[in-house]
Amino acid sequence: MLQLFIPLGALGVMYRQLKYTLADMDQLFHLLETPPEITDLPNAPPLKIQHGEIRFEQVDFGYTPERQILQSVSFTVPAGKKLAVVGHSGAGKSTLSRLLYRFYDVTRGRILIDGQDIRSVTQYSLRKAIGIVPQDTVLFNDSIRYNLQYGNPQATQAELERAADMAQIRQFIEALPEGWNTVVGERGLKLSGGEKQRVAIARAILKQPPILIFDEATSSLDSGTEQAIQKTLNEVAGQHTTLMIAHRLSTIVDADQILVMNQGQVVEQGTHSELIKYHGIYQQMWELQLHEKEETSSLSFDQH
Ligand code: ATP
């Protein structure tokens, strides 16, 4: 009987929220091929964000019981600070972001946000507090407006325009044949990796989460686009606690702390200048990337 008294307007809002939530989960589980097996504890309270501090304590994790991926990973990202994670391919960097978003539960240790174990709070409140800019952004077969607004279904056109401006994608959208109504995605206009990532950044700006995860795309963007995205991210990250999974070291030199991972373990931690002096893995990776950059620029010079 109770349902009869729910106003139609509220039903509409509930339907829209459900639609967005289902689309969100569906797309993300599909993307990560993750079984939706994580459940809330009975009567789990919502996450209470005070400042947005992230803490990993002695975290072990394996996707399967036979193969451990992370071993005793501990670190803290103070509220409002930026932690960059680097390391060779397969070191376990993106796994950290999947655990923080609770796609999986840790096998040992715990992950805390403002002192609360993320397994003890509702997934809805946890994911509401985190904005993810993934390596490969999924676009819906819908208008570009819908694709941005999905970061915050209540956003007005003025808010959308501001977010698109900050993510440096507004000019691109407005030059499309049908502007904001242009259909994108698999069955619509296909966007490049850099454009999709800017859509994801705009979504994160609209969501205004206290915590931001940025998983840098492995495929390299042209340096102009990379710099533009980097500038935007630094602006966006300014107000948020940020976990940045980085492939190009040039993008993270100004991070408050850099974590170097190797085979599932934290092997070095410090600022860029501290790690360069340390002469470890980070310094080797830095030299290697400088070398690659010099080779690329001399190659493009040769072609002219
Ligand atoms: P990259 O720099 O290449 O993105 P990464 O450091 O982010 O690598 P992860 O994606 O965290 O590495 O992967 C760490 C290890 O976990 C890899 O050996 C990978 O094969 C394995 N792995 C990742 N996802 C899964 C999964 N869904 N099931 C099983 N193993 C996985």
Instruction: Give dist(CA 15, CA 23) in Å, integer.
Output: 12
Which residue's CA is the nearest one to ligand 1's atom 31?
63
- Ligand 1 centroid vs 41 CA: distance in angstroms? 28
**Does the structure show a pLDDT above 90 at 58?**
yes
Q: What is the pLDDT of residue 215?
A: 87
Which residue's CA is the nearest one to ligand 1's atom 15?
90
Residue 55: pLDDT band by 50, 70, 90 thresholds?
very high
Q: What percent of the chain has a predicted confidence (pLDDT) above 90?
A: 54
In this prediction, residues 45-52 reach a mean pLDDT of 96
Q: Ligand 1 test: best mutation among 95, 98, 215, 265, most atoms within 8 Å of CB?
A: 95
- Ligand 1 centroid vs 264 CA: distance in angstroms? 10
Q: Which atom of ligand 1 is nearest to the CA of 261?
A: 6
Q: What is the pLDDT of residue 9?
A: 44
Q: Is the ipTM of this complex over 0.90?
A: yes
- Ligand 1 centroid vs 94 CA: distance in angstroms? 7
Q: Ligand 1 test: best mutation among 63, 67, 263, most atoms within 8 Å of CB?
A: 63
Strands of the sheet containing 54-61, edge to edge, are: 70-77, 54-61, 108-113, 116-117
Query: Quick one: residue 284, left, alpha or beta (phi over 0 = left, psi -120 to 50 = alpha)?
Result: alpha
Which residue's CA is the nearest one to ligand 1's atom 23?
95
In this prediction, residues 214-242 reach a mean pLDDT of 74
CB-defined site of ligand 1, < 6 Å: 63, 69, 87, 89-95, 218
In this prediction, residues 111-115 reach a mean pLDDT of 98
pLDDT tens per residue, range 263-275: 999 999 999 999 9
- Judged by DSSP in three states, 118 sits in coil
Instruction: Give dist(CA 91, CA 263) in Å, integer.
Output: 5
- Ligand 1 centroid vs 262 CA: distance in angstroms? 12
Q: What is the pLDDT of residue 238?
A: 74
Q: What is the pLDDT of residue 7?
A: 43
Residue with tokens 């339907």: 15
Among 111-120, 132-141, 157-166, top mean pLDDT goes to 111-120
pLDDT tens per residue, range 166-198: 888 999 999 998 999 999 987 788 888 888 888
Q: Which residues pair with 262 in a beta bridge?
A: 265
Backbone angles phi, psi at 132, to 5 degrees: -115, 130
pLDDT tens per residue, range 3-45: 334 444 444 444 444 444 444 554 555 555 454 578 899 999 9
Residue 219: pLDDT band by 50, 70, 90 thresholds?
low
Between the alpha carbon of residue 278 and those of residues 82, 244, 255, 274, the distances in Å are 21, 22, 17, 6
- Ligand 1 centroid vs 234 CA: distance in angstroms? 26
Q: Residue type at 115?
A: G
- Ligand 1 centroid vs 238 CA: distance in angstroms? 28
What's the token pair of residue 251?
């993008």
What is the CB-side half-sphere exposure of residue 194 using CA atoms within 13 A?
15
CA of residue 109 relative to chain centroid, distance: 23
